[in-house]
Amino acid sequence: MTERDEIEDLVERVQGGDPAALGALYDRFADRVYRFSLFRVGNHADAEDLTQRTFLKMIEALPRYQRRGIPFEAWLFRLARNATIDLLRGRRSHEPLESAAELRSAAPEPEAVVEQAAELAAAARAMEQLTDEQREVIGYRFAAGLTPREIGLLMGKREGTVRGLQFRALNAMRRFIRAEDEPRTSHEG
Amino acid sequence: MKDDDLRLARELERQLKFALEPDQARLQRVRATVLASYRATMAGAPRQSPRFFLRRWVVAGAIAATLVGGAGLAAAESGPGQPLYEVRLAIGSWLLPSEGAARDRGLAAELDDRLAEVRAASRRGDSGALGAALAAYRRTLAELTSHGISDPTVLLALERHRDVLQRLVDDAPPAAQGGLQQALQDAEKAAAGTPNAAPSVEPKATPVENPHGSDPPSHRP
């Protein structure tokens, strides 16, 4: 049985009223939904809230879910995306990832971790340069672990368009990080 | 993908994995709530399924429409601060189960709705709606806690409310903090299992002073 079949089997069992299957489905996706939510909102309390909303909405909508060529992951992350949009409406469109970096570096931690947080803050600054669509693709791809095809289904775009957005986003980030590094390097040198 | 891009993609993945590490305690809390909600839905218990409440509101709208014609449907859609908001809340209250755990869960669901209204009003900077939603929130909370809460799902939900209200207090300008602070104190007591007295100040939907210090544009029709 492929992974996709296993997931669809769990979905069918949840539709049939099997709590153990729901537990298994939750354990399979909760981590990624949480990461995606945290990426978008930048704080754990809202990420928890969004994860809960997404799964409660999933319970509500699951009776109407049909495979129809749309992978369950894409369907589930569409719910997560909608929950995030509802929450962020009226707030800043994107709570920077830097918040997450601060969260991780707030407690006194080993040097390596602090260094990692600094790198992350640099990545967050680079991400601020991206368009909303590019940032969304980066979130789905690297925070939620979706494939370009799934992202395309989720965003209503072709797979090639998603790859293009990812390519341009990475390019823009690389240019920004290099530009930030250069003055420091030349100063040090 | 070019080598440079591949390297950056891997680096980004590594960094995001580090930064976005889930809080396992939170994930377990959500898991308990989701499973409890699902079991209750499957058992046909009132509350838990948002769809159930959607249906309930359709029923409420129909009852109201029968009673007072078109105004009933308007009531079913009225938000805090609007003239028929209290009518809508009253209809919702009539439709709750009369006692026991089912009523508690129904009230907890109502409380979720009120909290969502508080958040929305706070975000919009709509002082009238915020005052009305906070008053309704405190009133529902007082009713829910009047005889103590033993349902762990409800207690978990109240803990979440406490966290949400704390964030709202932290973010709110001074003018909006009074009402939010009172609601927070109530939620803290409730989450700790202490009954709340009914609000001494009757929840008259007193507008909170404009949370953002200037007159916000009206979002109401």
Chain B contact residues (CB < 8 Å to A): 1, 4-5, 8-9, 11-13, 15-16, 18-23, 26-27, 29-31, 33-35, 37-39, 41-42, 49-51, 120, 123-124, 160, 163-164, 167
**What is the average per-residue pLDDT within B156-183?**
83
- Between CA A51 and CA A30 the distance in angstroms is 7
Tell me how far apart the terminal alpha carbons of chain B are, to the nearest angstrom.
52
pLDDT tens, position by position, B177-197: 888 888 888 888 888 877 665
Nearest CA to A132 out of A77, A82, A158, A93 is that of: A93
Asked whether the beta carbons of residue B19 and residue A100 sit closer than 8 angstroms, the reply is yes
Q: How far is B22 from chain A (nearest CA, A)?
A: 6
Report, as an integer, the average pLDDT of B128-147. 85
For the whole model, what pTM was predicted? 0.52
Summary mean pLDDT of chain B: 71
Separation in Å, CA of A82 to nearest CA in chain B: 15
Cα distances (Å, whole numbers) of residue B72 to B84, B94, B196: 9, 14, 32
Minimal Cα–Cα distance from B69 to chain A, Å? 31
| φ/ψ (deg, to 5) at A66 | -130, 145
Cβ neighbours around B8 below 10 Å, total: 20
Percent of chain A surpassing pLDDT 90: 28
CA distances in angstroms from A82 to A62, A86, A88, B167, listed in the order given: 16, 6, 10, 22
Number of structural domains in chain A: 1
Decide if A35 is inside a domain. yes
CA distance B179 to B204: 12
* Percent over 70 (pLDDT), chain B: 62
Q: Which of A49, A82, A147, A166 to mutate to test the interface with B (most CBs of B within 10 A)?
A: A49
Q: Quick one: pLDDT band at residue A27, thresholds 50, 70, 90? A: very high
Mutate to test the interface with B, among A48, A113, A180 (most CBs of B within 10 A): A48
Q: Which residues 4-33 of A have a C-beta within 8 angstroms of B?
A: 14, 17, 19, 22-23, 26-27, 30-31
Domain with A50 in it: 1-95
Interface residue A91 vs chain B (CB under 8 A): yes
A66 three-state secondary structure: coil
**Residue numbers in B near A104 (CB within 8 A):** 18-19, 21
pLDDT for position A159? 92
What is the rounded CA–CA span in Å between residue A18 and residue A169? 42
Give exposure, A147-177, as e/b (b: 16+ Cβ within 10 Å): ebebbbbbbebeeebbbebbbebbebbbebb
Domain ranges of chain B: 30-191
Q: What ipTM does this complex have? A: 0.78
Minimum mean pLDDT among A77-86, A117-126, B89-98, B201-210: which range? Answer: B201-210
Task: Average the pLDDT over B98-105 and give the result.
Answer: 69
Q: Residue A121: left (phi > 0), alpha (psi -120 to 50), or beta?
A: alpha
| More reliable by pLDDT, B92 or B60 | B92
- Residues in chain A with CB shorter than 8 Å from the CB of B112 are none
| A119 contacts in chain B (CB < 8 Å) | 15
**Residue A169 is assigned to a structural domain of this protein:** no
**pLDDT at residue A116 in the model:** 56
Considering CB atoms only, which of A49, A119, A170 is closest to B5? A170
CA B28 to CA B42: how far, in whole Å?
A: 21
For residue A10, what pLDDT band results from cuts at 50, 70 and 90?
very high
Give the position of tokens 């003055």: A183
Q: Which residues of A touch B130 (CB under 8 A)?
A: none
pLDDT band at A123 (very low <50, low <70, confident <90, very high): confident
Contact of A105 with A113, CB cutoff 8 Å: yes
Pseudo-torsion of CA B156, B162, B164, B168, nearest 10°?
Answer: 170
User: DSSP 3-state assignment of A144?
Assistant: coil
Q: What is the CATH number of the domain that holds A38?
A: 1.10.1740.10
Partner B contacted by A173 (CB < 8 A):
yes
Q: Output the average pLDDT for chain A.
A: 80
Contacts of A40 (CB under 8 A, 6+ apart): A50, A84, A88, A94, A95, A139
Give the mean model confidence (pLDDT) for residues A54-58.
93
Tell me which chain A residue has its CA closest to the CA of residue B124: A90
Identify which has the larger pLDDT, B160 or B12: B160
Closest by alpha carbon to B134, among B213, B39, B204? Answer: B204
CA atoms within 13 A on the CB side of B190: 36
Rounded Cα distance, A40 and A97, in Å: 8
Instruction: Report residue B87's pLDDT band, with 50, 70 and 90 as the boundaries.
Output: low
Instruction: With beta carbons less than 8 A apart as the criterion, state whether B185 and B141 touch.
Output: no
Answer whether residue B45 shows pLDDT above 50.
Answer: no
Q: Residue B27: pLDDT above 70?
A: yes
